[in-house]
Amino acid sequence: MRDIQDIIVRSCITIKQALGIIDKSSKQILLVIDENEKLIGTLNDGDIRRGLLGGISLEDEIEKIYFKNPTVASINDTKESIIRLAASKKIHQIPLVDSDGKLVGLDILDELIGKKKKPNKVILMVGGLGTRLRPLTENTPKPMLMVGHKPILQTIVEKFAEYGFVDIVMCVNYKSNIIQEYFGDGSLFGVNIEYVFEEKRMGTAGALSLLKEIPSEPFFVMNGDLLTNVNFEHLFHYHLSNNAIATMCVREYDFQVPYGVVNIENGKIMSIKEKPVQKFFVSAGIYMLNPEVVKHVSKDTFYDMPTLFEKLIEQNYNTLSFPIREYWMDIGRIEEYERANNEYGDVF
Protein backbone atom coordinates (compact mmCIF):
# COMPACT_ATOMS: atom_id res chain seq x y z
CA MET A 1 0.00 0.00 0.00
CA ARG A 2 2.92 2.32 -0.57
CA ASP A 3 0.98 4.50 -2.97
CA ILE A 4 -2.00 4.94 -0.59
CA GLN A 5 -0.30 4.81 2.78
CA ASP A 6 -0.74 8.56 3.22
CA ILE A 7 -4.55 8.34 2.98
CA ILE A 8 -5.20 5.35 5.27
CA VAL A 9 -6.76 6.36 8.60
CA ARG A 10 -8.64 4.96 11.59
CA SER A 11 -12.11 6.12 12.56
CA CYS A 12 -10.85 7.69 15.80
CA ILE A 13 -9.06 10.65 14.18
CA THR A 14 -10.71 14.06 14.31
CA ILE A 15 -12.30 15.86 11.41
CA LYS A 16 -9.65 18.53 11.71
CA GLN A 17 -6.91 15.92 11.35
CA ALA A 18 -8.72 14.39 8.37
CA LEU A 19 -8.89 17.77 6.63
CA GLY A 20 -5.15 18.19 7.09
CA ILE A 21 -4.46 14.78 5.51
CA ILE A 22 -6.80 15.42 2.57
CA ASP A 23 -5.21 18.80 1.91
CA LYS A 24 -1.73 17.23 1.74
CA SER A 25 -2.77 14.44 -0.61
CA SER A 26 -3.60 14.67 -4.28
CA LYS A 27 -6.14 11.83 -4.04
CA GLN A 28 -8.83 13.83 -2.18
CA ILE A 29 -10.10 10.78 -0.33
CA LEU A 30 -9.36 8.94 2.92
CA LEU A 31 -9.65 5.17 3.32
CA VAL A 32 -10.85 4.12 6.77
CA ILE A 33 -9.69 0.74 8.10
CA ASP A 34 -10.21 -1.21 11.31
CA GLU A 35 -7.63 -2.93 13.51
CA ASN A 36 -7.50 -5.87 11.06
CA GLU A 37 -6.73 -3.57 8.10
CA LYS A 38 -10.18 -4.22 6.64
CA LEU A 39 -11.79 -1.36 4.78
CA ILE A 40 -14.78 -0.03 6.74
CA GLY A 41 -15.44 3.20 4.89
CA THR A 42 -14.25 6.26 2.99
CA LEU A 43 -14.18 9.98 3.67
CA ASN A 44 -13.90 12.87 1.26
CA ASP A 45 -14.26 16.63 1.31
CA GLY A 46 -17.97 16.39 0.55
CA ASP A 47 -18.59 14.15 3.57
CA ILE A 48 -16.81 16.64 5.80
CA ARG A 49 -18.70 19.61 4.38
CA ARG A 50 -22.04 17.87 4.92
CA GLY A 51 -21.02 17.06 8.48
CA LEU A 52 -20.04 20.63 9.24
CA LEU A 53 -23.31 21.89 7.78
CA GLY A 54 -25.08 19.46 10.10
CA GLY A 55 -23.47 20.96 13.16
CA ILE A 56 -20.51 18.58 13.58
CA SER A 57 -17.42 20.13 15.23
CA LEU A 58 -13.90 19.93 13.77
CA GLU A 59 -12.87 18.27 17.02
CA ASP A 60 -15.37 15.44 16.60
CA GLU A 61 -14.14 12.06 15.37
CA ILE A 62 -14.76 11.06 11.76
CA GLU A 63 -16.72 8.07 13.07
CA LYS A 64 -19.79 10.31 12.88
CA ILE A 65 -19.45 11.24 9.23
CA TYR A 66 -17.40 8.79 7.18
CA PHE A 67 -19.26 6.80 4.51
CA LYS A 68 -19.71 3.25 5.76
CA ASN A 69 -20.94 1.52 2.60
CA PRO A 70 -18.40 2.41 -0.09
CA THR A 71 -18.32 0.84 -3.52
CA VAL A 72 -15.29 -1.43 -3.70
CA ALA A 73 -13.62 -3.64 -6.28
CA SER A 74 -11.78 -6.91 -5.85
CA ILE A 75 -8.12 -7.27 -6.71
CA ASN A 76 -9.31 -9.94 -9.15
CA ASP A 77 -11.62 -7.60 -11.08
CA THR A 78 -10.55 -6.66 -14.59
CA LYS A 79 -9.76 -3.11 -15.59
CA GLU A 80 -12.80 -3.03 -17.87
CA SER A 81 -15.19 -4.16 -15.13
CA ILE A 82 -13.85 -1.51 -12.74
CA ILE A 83 -14.31 1.21 -15.36
CA ARG A 84 -17.90 0.04 -15.90
CA LEU A 85 -18.52 -0.02 -12.14
CA ALA A 86 -17.12 3.49 -11.70
CA ALA A 87 -19.22 4.78 -14.57
CA SER A 88 -22.42 3.17 -13.29
CA LYS A 89 -21.89 4.58 -9.78
CA LYS A 90 -20.69 7.96 -11.11
CA ILE A 91 -17.56 7.80 -8.96
CA HIS A 92 -13.92 8.41 -9.84
CA GLN A 93 -12.14 6.41 -7.11
CA ILE A 94 -12.70 2.80 -6.09
CA PRO A 95 -10.87 1.11 -3.19
CA LEU A 96 -9.49 -2.36 -3.86
CA VAL A 97 -9.86 -5.17 -1.34
CA ASP A 98 -8.72 -8.78 -1.21
CA SER A 99 -10.92 -11.81 -0.54
CA ASP A 100 -10.84 -11.07 3.21
CA GLY A 101 -11.94 -7.46 2.78
CA LYS A 102 -8.48 -6.08 3.53
CA LEU A 103 -7.51 -2.87 1.78
CA VAL A 104 -4.83 -3.32 -0.88
CA GLY A 105 -5.09 -0.33 -3.18
CA LEU A 106 -7.08 2.40 -4.87
CA ASP A 107 -8.10 2.62 -8.52
CA ILE A 108 -8.63 6.09 -10.00
CA LEU A 109 -10.85 6.27 -13.07
CA ASP A 110 -8.81 8.92 -14.88
CA GLU A 111 -5.68 6.78 -14.60
CA LEU A 112 -7.49 3.64 -15.77
CA ILE A 113 -8.71 5.44 -18.87
CA GLY A 114 -5.55 7.46 -19.43
CA LYS A 115 -3.23 4.44 -19.82
CA LYS A 116 -0.43 6.09 -17.86
CA LYS A 117 2.86 4.44 -18.82
CA LYS A 118 4.67 2.64 -16.03
CA PRO A 119 8.38 1.83 -15.72
CA ASN A 120 7.97 -1.85 -14.81
CA LYS A 121 9.32 -4.25 -17.42
CA VAL A 122 7.45 -7.26 -18.76
CA ILE A 123 9.58 -10.33 -19.52
CA LEU A 124 7.79 -12.76 -21.85
CA MET A 125 9.10 -16.30 -22.18
CA VAL A 126 8.36 -17.18 -25.80
CA GLY A 127 11.10 -19.64 -26.74
CA GLY A 128 9.25 -22.95 -26.22
CA LEU A 129 8.94 -25.65 -28.88
CA GLY A 130 5.23 -26.37 -28.44
CA THR A 131 5.68 -30.08 -29.16
CA ARG A 132 2.25 -31.02 -27.76
CA LEU A 133 0.60 -28.75 -30.33
CA ARG A 134 2.16 -30.34 -33.39
CA PRO A 135 1.48 -30.24 -36.29
CA LEU A 136 0.30 -26.64 -35.63
CA THR A 137 3.75 -25.67 -34.37
CA GLU A 138 5.87 -27.33 -37.03
CA ASN A 139 6.28 -24.03 -38.87
CA THR A 140 4.98 -21.57 -36.26
CA PRO A 141 6.17 -20.87 -32.69
CA LYS A 142 3.40 -21.59 -30.20
CA PRO A 143 2.95 -17.94 -29.04
CA MET A 144 2.24 -16.99 -32.67
CA LEU A 145 -0.66 -19.42 -33.13
CA MET A 146 -3.82 -17.56 -34.08
CA VAL A 147 -6.53 -17.28 -31.45
CA GLY A 148 -9.33 -14.80 -32.07
CA HIS A 149 -7.83 -13.80 -35.44
CA LYS A 150 -4.55 -12.67 -33.88
CA PRO A 151 -1.48 -14.38 -32.38
CA ILE A 152 -1.66 -15.39 -28.72
CA LEU A 153 1.38 -13.21 -28.08
CA GLN A 154 -0.33 -10.13 -29.52
CA THR A 155 -3.21 -10.47 -27.05
CA ILE A 156 -0.68 -10.71 -24.20
CA VAL A 157 1.16 -7.59 -25.38
CA GLU A 158 -2.09 -5.65 -25.80
CA LYS A 159 -3.35 -6.61 -22.33
CA PHE A 160 -0.15 -5.38 -20.66
CA ALA A 161 -0.31 -2.18 -22.72
CA GLU A 162 -3.86 -1.55 -21.50
CA TYR A 163 -2.48 -1.23 -17.97
CA GLY A 164 0.42 0.99 -19.04
CA PHE A 165 3.13 -1.69 -18.93
CA VAL A 166 4.79 -1.04 -22.29
CA ASP A 167 8.49 -1.94 -21.80
CA ILE A 168 8.60 -5.53 -22.99
CA VAL A 169 11.43 -8.04 -23.33
CA MET A 170 10.79 -11.19 -25.35
CA CYS A 171 13.03 -14.16 -24.64
CA VAL A 172 13.05 -16.04 -27.93
CA ASN A 173 14.47 -19.27 -29.34
CA TYR A 174 12.36 -21.51 -31.60
CA LYS A 175 11.65 -19.78 -34.95
CA SER A 176 12.41 -16.43 -33.35
CA ASN A 177 12.52 -14.71 -36.75
CA ILE A 178 8.74 -15.09 -37.08
CA ILE A 179 8.17 -13.28 -33.78
CA GLN A 180 10.67 -10.52 -34.60
CA GLU A 181 9.30 -9.90 -38.07
CA TYR A 182 5.75 -9.61 -36.72
CA PHE A 183 6.38 -7.35 -33.72
CA GLY A 184 9.52 -5.47 -34.72
CA ASP A 185 10.36 -2.84 -32.11
CA GLY A 186 6.76 -2.88 -30.86
CA SER A 187 5.91 0.64 -32.03
CA LEU A 188 2.97 -0.58 -34.13
CA PHE A 189 1.47 -2.02 -30.94
CA GLY A 190 2.15 0.99 -28.70
CA VAL A 191 4.98 -0.71 -26.79
CA ASN A 192 8.78 -0.96 -26.76
CA ILE A 193 10.14 -4.44 -27.44
CA GLU A 194 13.64 -5.81 -26.90
CA TYR A 195 14.73 -9.37 -27.68
CA VAL A 196 16.90 -11.78 -25.71
CA PHE A 197 18.12 -14.79 -27.70
CA GLU A 198 18.36 -18.17 -26.01
CA GLU A 199 21.00 -20.18 -27.86
CA LYS A 200 19.68 -23.19 -25.98
CA ARG A 201 16.48 -23.78 -24.03
CA MET A 202 16.74 -21.97 -20.69
CA GLY A 203 13.46 -22.85 -18.94
CA THR A 204 10.88 -20.45 -17.54
CA ALA A 205 13.44 -18.57 -15.41
CA GLY A 206 16.86 -19.29 -16.93
CA ALA A 207 16.56 -16.57 -19.56
CA LEU A 208 16.53 -13.95 -16.77
CA SER A 209 20.28 -14.49 -16.50
CA LEU A 210 20.63 -13.31 -20.12
CA LEU A 211 18.99 -9.90 -19.61
CA LYS A 212 21.18 -7.07 -20.85
CA GLU A 213 20.22 -4.98 -17.84
CA ILE A 214 18.64 -6.03 -14.57
CA PRO A 215 15.35 -4.14 -14.17
CA SER A 216 15.42 -1.30 -11.66
CA GLU A 217 11.79 -1.84 -10.59
CA PRO A 218 9.71 -4.93 -9.80
CA PHE A 219 8.96 -6.68 -13.07
CA PHE A 220 6.56 -9.20 -14.60
CA VAL A 221 7.49 -12.58 -16.00
CA MET A 222 4.90 -14.45 -18.05
CA ASN A 223 4.80 -17.51 -20.25
CA GLY A 224 3.96 -16.66 -23.84
CA ASP A 225 1.29 -19.32 -24.35
CA LEU A 226 -1.31 -18.00 -21.90
CA LEU A 227 -4.55 -16.13 -22.39
CA THR A 228 -5.87 -14.35 -19.32
CA ASN A 229 -7.91 -11.41 -18.15
CA VAL A 230 -5.93 -10.98 -14.94
CA ASN A 231 -5.65 -7.37 -13.76
CA PHE A 232 -1.89 -6.79 -14.00
CA GLU A 233 -2.07 -3.53 -12.07
CA HIS A 234 -3.74 -5.25 -9.14
CA LEU A 235 -1.04 -7.95 -9.19
CA PHE A 236 1.56 -5.18 -9.09
CA HIS A 237 -0.06 -3.40 -6.13
CA TYR A 238 -0.59 -6.70 -4.28
CA HIS A 239 3.09 -7.50 -4.67
CA LEU A 240 4.16 -4.10 -3.36
CA SER A 241 1.68 -3.84 -0.51
CA ASN A 242 2.79 -7.20 0.92
CA ASN A 243 6.52 -6.45 0.61
CA ALA A 244 7.06 -9.62 -1.40
CA ILE A 245 10.31 -10.44 -3.15
CA ALA A 246 8.46 -12.76 -5.54
CA THR A 247 4.77 -13.30 -6.22
CA MET A 248 3.39 -16.26 -8.15
CA CYS A 249 -0.07 -16.21 -9.72
CA VAL A 250 -1.86 -19.45 -8.87
CA ARG A 251 -4.97 -21.12 -10.18
CA GLU A 252 -7.20 -23.56 -8.33
CA TYR A 253 -7.23 -26.97 -9.99
CA ASP A 254 -9.83 -29.62 -9.18
CA PHE A 255 -9.29 -33.33 -9.68
CA GLN A 256 -11.96 -35.92 -8.99
CA VAL A 257 -10.73 -39.36 -7.98
CA PRO A 258 -12.83 -41.78 -10.07
CA TYR A 259 -13.05 -44.36 -7.26
CA GLY A 260 -14.09 -44.63 -3.66
CA VAL A 261 -11.12 -43.61 -1.50
CA VAL A 262 -10.55 -45.82 1.53
CA ASN A 263 -8.99 -44.29 4.63
CA ILE A 264 -7.00 -47.01 6.44
CA GLU A 265 -5.22 -46.96 9.80
CA ASN A 266 -3.24 -50.03 10.93
CA GLY A 267 -5.13 -52.17 8.46
CA LYS A 268 -8.53 -51.07 9.71
CA ILE A 269 -10.91 -49.24 7.39
CA MET A 270 -11.79 -45.95 9.08
CA SER A 271 -13.94 -44.38 6.35
CA ILE A 272 -14.78 -44.50 2.67
CA LYS A 273 -15.29 -41.39 0.58
CA GLU A 274 -16.88 -41.95 -2.81
CA LYS A 275 -15.16 -40.17 -5.71
CA PRO A 276 -13.79 -37.26 -3.67
CA VAL A 277 -12.71 -34.01 -5.32
CA GLN A 278 -9.15 -32.97 -4.57
CA LYS A 279 -8.32 -29.27 -4.85
CA PHE A 280 -4.87 -27.87 -5.49
CA PHE A 281 -3.31 -24.57 -6.41
CA VAL A 282 -1.10 -24.70 -9.48
CA SER A 283 1.26 -22.15 -10.95
CA ALA A 284 -0.46 -19.97 -13.54
CA GLY A 285 2.78 -19.02 -15.33
CA ILE A 286 2.59 -15.32 -14.33
CA TYR A 287 5.00 -13.80 -11.80
CA MET A 288 6.03 -10.50 -10.24
CA LEU A 289 9.66 -10.35 -9.13
CA ASN A 290 11.90 -7.83 -7.41
CA PRO A 291 15.16 -7.00 -9.22
CA GLU A 292 17.32 -8.74 -6.59
CA VAL A 293 15.73 -12.08 -7.52
CA VAL A 294 17.76 -12.19 -10.74
CA LYS A 295 20.99 -12.88 -8.83
CA HIS A 296 19.48 -16.16 -7.61
CA VAL A 297 19.07 -17.49 -11.16
CA SER A 298 21.85 -19.85 -12.25
CA LYS A 299 23.70 -18.54 -15.30
CA ASP A 300 23.83 -20.27 -18.67
CA THR A 301 21.76 -23.24 -17.57
CA PHE A 302 18.21 -24.57 -17.79
CA TYR A 303 16.32 -23.14 -14.81
CA ASP A 304 12.58 -23.27 -14.19
CA MET A 305 10.55 -20.82 -12.14
CA PRO A 306 9.45 -23.39 -9.51
CA THR A 307 13.14 -24.08 -8.81
CA LEU A 308 13.73 -20.36 -8.33
CA PHE A 309 10.84 -20.10 -5.89
CA GLU A 310 12.08 -23.15 -3.98
CA LYS A 311 15.47 -21.48 -3.56
CA LEU A 312 13.86 -18.26 -2.31
CA ILE A 313 11.65 -20.19 0.09
CA GLU A 314 14.66 -22.09 1.49
CA GLN A 315 16.31 -18.72 2.22
CA ASN A 316 13.18 -17.46 4.01
CA TYR A 317 12.37 -14.72 1.53
CA ASN A 318 8.80 -13.42 1.43
CA THR A 319 7.24 -15.30 -1.50
CA LEU A 320 3.51 -14.90 -2.04
CA SER A 321 0.69 -16.36 -4.09
CA PHE A 322 -1.83 -14.27 -6.03
CA PRO A 323 -4.95 -16.35 -6.77
CA ILE A 324 -6.40 -15.85 -10.24
CA ARG A 325 -10.17 -16.03 -10.53
CA GLU A 326 -10.39 -14.30 -13.88
CA TYR A 327 -10.29 -16.07 -17.22
CA TRP A 328 -7.09 -18.07 -17.68
CA MET A 329 -6.14 -20.59 -20.32
CA ASP A 330 -2.83 -22.41 -20.73
CA ILE A 331 -2.75 -23.36 -24.41
CA GLY A 332 -0.61 -26.48 -24.32
CA ARG A 333 -2.76 -29.04 -26.13
CA ILE A 334 -4.93 -29.13 -29.24
CA GLU A 335 -8.18 -29.28 -27.25
CA GLU A 336 -7.15 -26.20 -25.23
CA TYR A 337 -6.28 -24.36 -28.43
CA GLU A 338 -9.70 -25.14 -29.89
CA ARG A 339 -11.44 -24.13 -26.66
CA ALA A 340 -9.53 -20.82 -26.55
CA ASN A 341 -10.68 -20.00 -30.08
CA ASN A 342 -14.30 -20.76 -29.15
CA GLU A 343 -14.15 -18.59 -26.02
CA TYR A 344 -12.03 -15.70 -27.27
CA GLY A 345 -14.84 -13.54 -28.61
CA ASP A 346 -16.83 -13.64 -25.36
CA VAL A 347 -13.83 -13.09 -23.09
CA PHE A 348 -11.78 -10.50 -24.97
pLDDT at 115: 65
Buried (b) or exposed (e) across 65-94, using 16+ Cβ within 10 A? bbeeebebbbbbbbbeebeebbeeeeeebb
Those residues whose C-beta lies under 8 Å from the C-beta of residue 237, and which sit 6 or more positions away, are 1, 3, 75, 96, 104, 105
Phi, psi dihedral angles at 30 (to 5 degrees):
-115, 140
Point out the least confidently predicted range of 136-140, 277-281, 300-304, 333-337: 136-140
pLDDT at 2 over 60: no
Q: What is the pTM of this model?
A: 0.75
Mean pLDDT, the chain, as a whole number? 88
Strand partners, 273: 261
- Between helix 15-24 and helix 45-53 the angle, nearest 10°, is 150
Nearest CA-CA partner of 111 in 43, 27, 226? 27
Tens digits of residue pLDDT in 61-108: 999 999 999 999 998 888 888 999 988 988 888 999 988 889 988 988
Tens digits of residue pLDDT in 241-289: 788 999 999 888 888 888 898 989 888 888 999 988 888 888 899 999 9
**What average pLDDT does range 100-120 have in this prediction?**
84
pLDDT at 326: 81
pLDDT at 305 over 70: yes
Strand partners, 73: 96
pLDDT at 130: 65
Decide: 166 and 139 in contact? Cβ < 8 Å: no
Give whichever of 217-231, 255-269, 322-336 has the largest mean pLDDT: 217-231
**What average pLDDT does range 224-238 have in this prediction?**
88
212 pLDDT band, cuts 50/70/90, is confident
Tens digits of residue pLDDT in 146-158: 998 899 999 999 9
pLDDT at 63: 92
| Helices and strands, number each (H, E), in the chain | 10, 19
The whole-angstrom separation of Cα 237 and Cα 79 is: 14
pLDDT at 267: 87
Point out the least confidently predicted range of 189-193, 200-204, 287-291: 200-204
**What domains appear along the chain, each with residue ranges and CATH number?**
5-114 (3.10.580.10), 122-347 (3.90.550.10)
pLDDT at 1 over 50: no
**Which 3-state string (H, E, C) describes 150-192?**
EEHHHHHHHHHHHCCECEEEEEECCCHHHHHHHHCCCHHHCCE
Tens digits of residue pLDDT in 28-66: 899 999 998 899 999 987 788 788 768 888 899 999 999
How, if at all, do strands 260-265 and 167-172 pair? unpaired
